[in-house]
Amino acid sequence: MEILLVKFASAALLPPGINLLAGLFGLALLRHARRFALSLLIMALGSLYALSTPYLATRLIASLEPAPLALAPALLATRAQAIVLLAGGRNPYAPEYGRDTVSPTSLVRLRYAARL
């Protein structure tokens, strides 16, 4: 039972749960403190909308991803025998090829592997 309470509390305190709770709190206060309730509703709906846009979502995700490290010159001078390239997805049907092909993420990885 307590695990359900912990899961519910963590879901309620993270977006979009906190935004929805702020909106419900604003609705509950609408009769008593109209100006504060309206500002809370506008803030909750505005932040809910902003968090659902692709621009802000990609900016938030990019802030969590580390920047790729540049290879040291000593590492580039060694003679590598092989490069292991991990796939990044596929396009199930590309009309220009008439069959499956690699995704844009895989193309970036292939280009960097070819450069190395």
In this prediction, residue 112 carries a pLDDT of 85
Decide if pLDDT at 109 tops 90: no
Give the whole-angstrom CA distance, residue 61 versus residue 79: 35
**What angle in degrees, to the nearest 10, is found between the helix axes of 54-64 and 34-52?**
70
Q: Is 86 helix (H, G, I), strand (E, B) or coil?
A: coil
Decide if pLDDT at 36 tops 80: yes
For residue 26, what are the contacts with CB-CB under 8 A and spacing of at least 6? 37, 38, 40, 41, 44
In this prediction, residue 70 carries a pLDDT of 74
Name the amino acid, one letter, at 34: R
Bridge partners of 102, per DSSP, are 90
Name the amino acid, one letter, at 32: H
Position with higher pLDDT, 78 vs 32: 32
Give the whole-angstrom CA distance, residue 17 versus residue 23: 10
In this prediction, residue 34 carries a pLDDT of 92
Segment 8-21, tens digit of pLDDT: 888 888 888 899 99
Segment 74-105, tens digit of pLDDT: 766 677 778 888 887 888 888 888 888 888 88
Confidence of residue 42 (pLDDT cuts 50, 70, 90): very high
CB 44 within 8 A of CB 30: no
Q: Per the confidence metrics, is the pTM higher than 0.85? A: no
